[in-house]
Amino acid sequence: MNILVIGSGGREHAMCWKLKQSPMVNALYCAPGNGGTAAEAINVELDTGDHEAVVRFCAEKEITLVAVGPELPLSRGIADDLEKAGVKVFGPSYAAARLESSKIFAKELMGSNGIPTAAFRIFEDFEKAEEYIRAQGAPIVVKAFGLAAGKGVVVADDVEEAVRAAREMLVDEKFGSAGQKIIVEEFLTGEEASILVVTDGENILPLVSSQDHKRAGEGDTGPNTGGMGAYSPAPVVDEKLFGDVIENIVKPTIKAMREEEKPYKGVLYVGIMITDEGPKVLEYNVRFGDPETQVILTRLKSDLAELMKAAAEGDISGVKAEWDDDEYVCVVLASGGYPGSYEKGKEISGIREAEKEGALVFHAGTALRDGRLVSSGGRVLNVVGKGRGIKEAVENTYRAAGKIHFDGMYYRKDIAHRAVARTAA
């Protein structure tokens, strides 16, 4: 097969790294890619927003499968346009991608199908939203209804913070059209986890559990980010809980999408909160999580290309997945100031030294400039280590991360702290 991976982050580097191992893959391309994907695939300067250009490229290179990394191309219907041209796609259609591109669609689907989630109200008028927030009190959650690069969710600890978030979305248009409507929802107490499955629209193949850290600061404080680290497995997700999520959340979701004539094909990410009442859905993502992918695919012993091909062709019933029993941890090395403003173009050193420690280093926001590797994004590198047990995995990962340097670099020092504490207890 000739495969095109669409995207430029750490998730896409991990996808390319895993796909390159497959004997089924003849040629591997990544558009646009980054400084790390260049070692695994052929980076292509391709405007992925121009679907006709992508279709032409697939015809020219005889691409048989396109694996879409980020949510934005899916929300714009790239899977539909490629399928019409006869190219198989690992990723959902425009209609199915609304599970992520419209939080309102997702919430209404959950509500009408008895899928457990937080209580919510939808607003497009700021004054009504403010009145509701003040009546409900805090903590409370305010969400932009559309795509906002993982930053459109504010978990407000006090009423004024929530009102300010609602004003920024509805009045100041901080997130543009993504914030024309907002969801104000109940704050759920518990522990978060990520459950991902691959589906062909009917059959479901669960992947291993993982847990990420969304907040920028240690102790899970500060603003939400795209993710500052992750680990797999998540010890809070025992066998019973995992089965509960599959039976009461994942299967009803896939069934509901099929019945609405929006069959879902690809990977479905379900972010859950484990409450005293059981698991409840926080969000759906219509693609691999980032940085969860970096700890899930490194544990995968099976052929990723085979799995993606089967899902894209509409039948995964004969595909199984085998997993490494070691525990994996990913630490995100970020630019100073992220998720706010930050500087780019900082020269990066120490990656080879980190890899000598046994770690994998996936590039997220890097570029090659005049033969030098430099930062080009907020999340710059993902350092992934493993161990026999979570404590060893954490130690190995941080030892490797300590070898890398670029000006302004920062990273959280407590990734997997819940798992470490749970194991110690």
Distance CA 82, CA 88 (A): 7
Whole-number Cα distances in Å, 59 to 39, 44, 86, 299, 312: 24, 15, 9, 33, 18
Which token pair is 15?
């996808």
Q: What single string gives the DSSP state of each residue in 346-400? A: -B-B-HHHHHHTT-EEEESSEEEETTEEEE-SSEEEEEEEEESSHHHHHHHHHHH
Mean predicted lDDT score pLDDT of the chain: 95
Confidence check: pLDDT of 151 > 70? no
Task: Check if the beta carbon of residue 190 is closer than 8 Å to that of residue 276.
Answer: yes
CA-wise closest residue to 228 among 243, 214, 242 = 214
Q: Is 79 left (phi over 0), alpha (psi -120 to 50) or beta?
A: alpha
Q: What's the average model confidence in pLDDT over 349-361? A: 98
Distance CA 273, CA 268 (A): 16
Structural domains in the chain, sorted by start: 2-93 (3.40.50.20), 125-180 (3.30.1490.20), 189-313 (3.30.470.20), 327-424 (3.90.600.10)
**How do beta strands 372-375 and 366-369 pair?**
antiparallel
pLDDT digits (tens, 9 = 90+) for 2-51: 999 999 999 999 999 999 999 999 999 999 999 999 999 999 999 999 99
Whole-angstrom Cα distance, residue 419 to residue 421?
5
Query: Strand ranges (DSSP E) for 14-64?
Result: 27-32, 42-43
Total-model pTM: 0.91
Structure confidence at residue 237 (pLDDT): 95
- Percentage of residues of the chain with pLDDT beyond 90: 92
Which pLDDT score is estimated for 150?
Answer: 61
Q: How confident is the model at residue 149 (pLDDT cuts 50, 70, 90)?
A: low
| Composition of the chain by helix, strand, coil, percent to 5 | 30, 30, 40
The CA distance from 81 to 54, in Å, is 9
Name every residue whose Cβ is closer than 8 Å to that of residue 325 and which is 6 or more positions away in sequence: none
Q: What is the pLDDT of residues 198-215, one digit of tens each?
A: 999 999 999 999 999 999
Closest CA to 363 of 344, 339, 383: 383
Single-letter amino acid, residue 180: Q
